[in-house]
Chains A and B, each alone.
Chain A
């Protein structure tokens, strides 16, 4: 009997010990309620706490530039701050949020911001920024949700056509042949395609093909914001055009020529032209310095000009221990001088209008990127849209052997279902 009692006691002790262990460590976060209200001054935490900045980098150029900017602020302010490039930004953010310990500042993309806001993960500090008036209005709109500006836009990029001038000349083409519409694009790609090099290459994704869709007059979501317009004759026209070029072998996806993305395909000489954004400057400077290239606006489609517009913003985590410091750091990172430094490092365009001339100073021949800012189309910002786009991209990988109508119909269904579930 004694032994039984003792063993029972022991069992209880061990079991409760295990439970206590569970409860202890998580005690503080057990009943944590995400503070959804937007009081800015209230709980800004400890102004001296160290800050982490997490970015999804396009390459060494970007990482080094951001690290330098953060270090400069850190020295000036005396607050420890560290920048880090994520190997998988979405995953690390998801893990950080779940752990209650996300980075203080991080890139927030247009397709994921709605989800973060809904989960209460973002701290809206837009009203604390001093240079809001200088920022392009379109960018401010993108990051304003429910009439609150959640974060400061970092910079923006657009897509343009990048041409290898050596291959251009070798094919006997001149300035007059620079593509201004789809026919001339197809013709140029045809002329540039040789045994060693394909005329055109870009990634099989909406983030590139969307430019053609915009040029034909198509879109993903209608004006009213509640109808999906993916399945339209305009989009079909765009996809059919791309499919034709794939069939002629004048267009190849980067994976087919052994490259990871369009910039690599272009830089390694596998393709004579590519459709890419500003970031290609940094990549080419660092990794493929021997390529001489020029940048021209995307050719016009039947509805005129069109391109894709990309922007990020500096999200500050609601769970940050030092919101005051974070806002100050973001102000520094979006200031004109720092943005111009980033511009010089890897070519992205500053979000502030006052830096427009600086852009032309550094890249006088790349006005095409800047022009794209006028008519560029961004990714849908509806929560959950990134899954639909990811599925769209998956289908686009097989565009060469699939009927474009099938692809558009399926994306239409998915997108409409998503919009319906929001309303």
Chain B
């Protein structure tokens, strides 16, 4: 505590403090710079990601000559709903939309039913061959969809479901991923609930339907979202499952439009209008259920 040594110590400590403060200040400054850079990078990249959809919307509201003349502009010079009018009157777009809605609803309901039944059986019911079925499901997930294009067509022919709504919908109703989601969820429900029900005399189906299923709402919602997206956006199966113009869905119809369906001109506003309307339902679903979709996508791989 003598002044000489103490002063030296204080001085060196102060110097060290000052150095540390400088370093901290510099690194804080560097950190702030990094943050700014990161923000700028993110904004630029996000703009690149968002811009095409804005152009999509904008172009669908332009007239054809304007779309060709000023493709980048986000605000049309002359707003016009000509493209949408043409879409609804000169093509079968309303029919396609109705078909897509019908198919998607039925497939979603069917999938929820089939997958939750199977998931419950795999999670909670003991039966011989359960392990084999499980292994079968894992193998199923390995088959790439594209290999099934031709064969499914052949089978639909043989069964007589070709060119029918049933042929378009039934093959989409079972998918291994959905079964796994339901199975994992059911396994997390305490057995006490089921046992209580069973003691009360409920059969297996009652237990499943009235007790366990209502508790599985989160997983069900996930399944609904995945099915909705999957069947709304499905293309290759619909190509091979039917050829009747009355059975065309949005994806197939818009794909036909894109490869030159309506004859004259490139008609970009019309095609982009179709693409925009096609995207709206999935976009709405996405924005409502964002968090859930993001959690599922991230977690689905950790199975």
Contacts and interface: CB of A to CB of B under 8 A. Distances in A.
Give the size category of B's interface with A. 20 to 34
Interface of A: 4, 7-8, 11, 21-22, 25-26, 29, 59-60, 84, 87, 91-92, 95-96, 98-101, 258, 260, 264, 267-268, 283, 286-288
B243 A25 contact: no
Contacts of A100: 157
A7 B264 contact: no
A7 B154 contact: no
B158 A95 contact: no
A26 B157 contact: yes
Given A60-B263, A258-B266, A288-B264, A99 B157 contact: yes
A99 B154 CA distance: 8
Nearest to B160: A25
B263 A59 contact: yes
Contacts of A87: 256, 261
A84 B162 CA distance: 19
Given A7-B128, A283-B263, 12 more contacts: A4-B128, A7-B127, A21-B159, A22-B155, A22-B159, A25-B160, A95-B240, A95-B243, A96-B243, A258-B266, A287-B263, A287-B265
Given A25-B159, A25-B160, A26-B159, A98 B263 contact: no
B281 interface: no
B153 A264 contact: no
B171 to A, nearest CB: 13
Nearest to B154: A98
A8 B265 CA distance: 63
B265 A25 contact: no
Contact of B265 (A4, A98, A264): A264
A131 to B, nearest CB: 32
B153 A95 contact: yes
A21 B161 CA distance: 11
B203 interface: no
A34 to B, nearest CB: 15
Given A264-B265, A288-B264, A25 B158 contact: yes
Contacts of B153: 95, 98
A7 B154 CA distance: 32
Contact of B162 (A99, A264, A268): A99
Contact of B243 (A26, A59, A92, A288): A92
A288 B163 CA distance: 37
Contacts of B68: 258
Nearest to B156: A99
A25 B157 CA distance: 9
A60 B240 CA distance: 26
B266 A283 contact: no
A397 B162 CA distance: 37
Interface string B20-59: 0000000000000000000000000000000000000000
Given A7-B127, A22-B158, A25-B158, A99 B163 contact: yes
B218 interface: no
Given A7-B127, A92-B243, A268 B265 contact: yes
Contacts of B128: 4, 7-8
19 contacts: A7-B128, A7-B129, A8-B128, A22-B155, A22-B158, A25-B158, A26-B157, A26-B159, A60-B263, A84-B245, A87-B261, A91-B243, A92-B243, A95-B240, A95-B243, A96-B243, A101-B163, A260-B266, A283-B264
